[in-house]
Structure 1
Amino acid sequence: MTSTTDSKTALAAPDGGAEDPSAPKIVPVRHPWRWVSVSVALVLVAQLVHALATNPGLEWGTFRQYLFDPSVLHGVWLTLQLTFYAVLAGFAGGIVLAFMRLSTNPLLRVTAYAYVWVVRSVPLLVQVLFWFNISYLYSRLSVGVPFGPEFFSFSTTNLVSSLSAAVIALSVNEAAFASEIVRAGVLSVGHGQLEAAAALGIPRRRQLVRIVLPQAMRTIAPNATNQLIALFKNTSIVSVMAIMELFYTVQVIYGRTSRVVPMLLVATAWYVLLTTLLSIFQYYVERRFAKGSARMLPPTPVQRLCLAVRELRAAAAGERTLR
């Protein structure tokens, strides 16, 4: 009778609310250091916000006055143009250089390696100044047969403007770094897949487009976006050529008004805003090329917000039900 009664009590425990003395006690995991680190982080953030809001030297009134100033907006537009043209030319050249490095032809490999080595060894500022002073080195350029007769020649004095020199310098520098990014992405794809595709008779061009590039983009996309963001900020270097991009425009304004800190904040705000947009673009590109590697795609920010709202509503409905 005793064993029967105990077994009935144990079976009735989940429904009747009786506790089983032999069952282990469930204790929630506590994370005291996590709460300490969160508290420290909140205090630091609050101090930073308070310092930014109350420091009179930041001159937020001047910041608001010049944030959407027409000259500043023109500088932002010119910065975007420099970035766009340099990215197109740089990554086009980088793709060519990457496949030259991967070629079986030793001459192509050595040429591409030498280009990457030289460009990465020379500071970007030196490259910008070199292209800006190209007419000093070559006063005239000619078109004709190599080491033979010339068909026609022209002066380089007015051929390369300051804006063209900036685009050329940024593109040449970008191509060297983009080639390594593309090469790393292609090398990340296993050779076994290419061997299997070749055994099935798939043409090499189709192997590249349908097999290699979709998988390589998972490695290329984050690094390429980092390089794009770096290029976007490196456009400030061309201010040495008096090009009215964002940073040089800000310099001209604070040189005239002596409001150095608020004008630097204006430039910082635009750089942060545009970098954030590029980061959002990176997120969606990575999500697009993650389809073959993840069981479920990561939710978008909008989907996460909707999920959080649904969870809050469900929690509120559960509390009303308990009451």
Structure 2
Amino acid sequence: MNAALKPRLRLRTPSEYAGWVLSIFVAIGILSSVLTNPNFRWEIVGKYFFAESILRGLMLTIFLTVASMALGTLLGLALAVMRSSHVKPVSIAASLYITLFRGTPVLVQLIFWFNIAALYPNLMIGIPFTDIGMAIDVNTLMGPITAALVGLTLNEAAYMAEIIRGGFSAVGKGQIEAADSLGMSAGTRMRKVIIPQAMPSIIPATGNQVIGMFKGTSLVSVLGVAELLQSAQLIYARTFETIPLLIVASLWYLVMTLLLSYPQSKLEQKYNRASSNLPRKAKAVQLTDPEGAAR
């Protein structure tokens, strides 16, 4: 019986061995060229890799990524609920928002928010039809970092709304009907039934969005925000060492992408294991009434 459980051995063909040999030779050739080419200036790369300005830019990039993803996910959740609403004006408003922000380039949106003061130089916040309120100078408020945070958040919310809505759609209607039959409130149903079953669909796409957001923050350099890429550009504008500084920025982007990919894979494994147990739990829920008695 133990022998039957052993995996079958697959014989490798000569062409597969030839492919491995060819791939190894190509990899060695490329690596040798990169390491021995003096134009890469690896000593300059090592000099600036942990430079103070580069690390400050990296920290700002991480801040923009975390803040934009957190705020964008919360707003995206609200938009997903609105988009799924049976109230037509609410659903249409969410659809228009998602269409607008997904249909225009994020670079254009960033520049637009940075120049929003041209449309609304002053904003009045207060109680309508009264004199109670305060004026806000939009030109002062909407600085480069604020414009970057607003632009990235609003754009990310549109994508997260569709990701979350798609995850909710993956939950079977039978599960929702079973929760309703047990008298679960909307919050309990969302927490106990919908979210656990939607997470395996939401987590991979969200992880990709986080990685994309981390790299997408390089666009805010056009606003003069000294994130990772802009920090490298400021150095090579002074030293004319363009390629080594671009390599420094690229290596940091690669390192952070690898670091972000690890927790994503762990979360996927966790929720995939949890979702495999849901059919048994769901069956038990369907067979039990609100008082806990078997049907």
TM-score, normalization by structure 1: 0.80
Encode CA deviations 1:63-93: one digit per residue, 9 max, x unaligned: 0000000010000001111111111111110
1:240 to 217, 222, 245: 222
| Equivalent of residue 159 in structure 1, options 141, 145, 164 | 141
Does the CA contact (< 8 Å) of 1:142 and 1:150 recur in 2? no
- 1:206 is the counterpart of 2:188: yes
Check the 8 A contact 1:101/1:108 in 2, yes or no: yes
Return 5+ residue gaps in structure 2 as ranges: 1-8, 278-295
2:293 corresponding residue in structure 1: none
Match of 2:177 in 1: 195
1:181 maps to which residue?
A: 163
8 Å CA contact 2:200, 2:275 repeated in 1:
no
Q: Report the equivalent of 2:246.
A: 264
Q: Counterpart of 1:77? A: 59
Q: CA deviation at 1:144?
A: 3.7
Change (3 A) 1:161 1:30: closer
Work out whether residues 73 and 161 of structure 2, in 8 Å CA contact, stay in contact via their aligned partners in 1: yes
Counterpart-to-counterpart distance in 1, 2:12 and 2:221:
54
* Distance 1:150-1:130 versus aligned 2 partners, 3 A rule: farther
* Conserved? CA contact 1:90–1:171, under 8 Å: yes
| 8 A Cα contact 2:58 2:227, kept in partner | yes
Tell me the matched-pair count. 268
Shift of 1:29: 3.3
Separation (CA, whole Å) in 2 of partners of 1:66 and 1:155: 39
Counterparts of residues 287-306 of structure 1 (less than 5 Å): 287-294=269-276
Q: CA deviation at 1:294?
A: 4.7
- Cα deviation for residue 201 of structure 1 reads 2.5
Q: Does 1:228 align with 2:210?
A: yes
Look up the match of 1:37: 19
Unaligned runs of 5+ residues in structure 1 are 1-26, 296-323
**Given the superposition, is the C-alpha separation of residues 127 and 30 from structure 1 closer, same or farther in structure 2, using an over 3 Å criterion?**
closer
Alignment match of 2:39 (pick from 57, 60, 64): 57
- Higher Rg: 1
Give % identity.
36
The change in CA–CA distance for 1:30 and 1:279 in structure 2 (over 3 A counts) is closer
The answer to whether 1:286 aligns with 2:278 is: no
CA distance in 2, matches of 1:28, 1:64: 45
Aligned residue for 1:218?
Answer: 200
SS of the residue 2:273 aligns to: coil
The more displaced of 216-225 and 201-210 is 201-210
Q: SS of the residue aligned with 1:68?
A: coil
Corresponding position of 1:310 = none
1:103 maps to amino acid: S
Distance across 2 between alignment mates of 1:210 and 1:273: 36
User: What is the CA deviation profile of residues 129-167 of structure 1, one whole-angstrom value per residue up to 9, with x for unaligned ones?
Assistant: 111111111111012455x44533232221221111110
Cα separation, 2, equivalents of 1:292 and 1:157: 49
**3-state SS in 1 of match to 2:274:** coil
Q: Counterpart of 2:132 in 1: which secondary structure?
A: strand
Q: Which amino acid in structure 1 is aligned with residue 58 of structure 2? A: V
Query: RMSD between aligned alpha carbons?
Result: 1.6
Check 1:179–1:28 CA distance in 2 against 1; reply closer, same or farther (3 A cut). Answer: closer
Task: Find the residue that maps to 2:125 and give its secondary structure.
Answer: strand
- Give TM-score scaled by structure 2 length: 0.87
